C-alpha cells in the first residue's frame, strides 16, 4: 500500500497503471504528455487568477 501511495504522489494517476509489457519509449511519451496536460491546466488557472487580479487593480484605480 505504501508503494502505491508513493507512486500516486510522485506520478499521479499514471503511476498506478500497470506498465508491464509496455515499451519504455511509449511509456515515457505518455508520461510526458500527461505532464504537459497538467502544466497546461495549472497555467490556465493562473491566467484566470492574474486576469481577475488585474481587473481588480483597474477598478480600484478608477475609484480614486
Determine the average pLDDT of the residues in 46-51: 94
Global pTM reads 0.50
Count of structural domains, the chain: 1
Q: How far apart are CA 19 and CA 17, in angstroms?
A: 6
pLDDT at 63: 62
Which residue would you say has higher pLDDT here, 12 or 24? 12
Question: Domain range holding 28?
Answer: 2-63
Q: How far apart are CA 10 and CA 41, in angstroms?
A: 18
pLDDT at 38: 95
Amino acid at each position: 500500500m505504501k508503494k502505491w501511495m508513493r507512486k500516486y504522489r510522485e506520478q499521479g494517476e499514471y503511476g498506478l497503471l500497470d506498465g508491464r509489457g509496455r515499451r519504455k519509449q511509449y511509456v515515457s511519451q505518455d508520461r510526458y504528455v500527461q505532464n504537459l496536460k497538467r502544466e497546461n491546466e495549472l497555467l490556465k488557472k493562473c491566467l484566470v487568477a492574474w486576469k481577475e487580479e488585474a481587473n481588480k487593480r483597474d477598478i480600484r484605480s478608477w475609484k480614486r
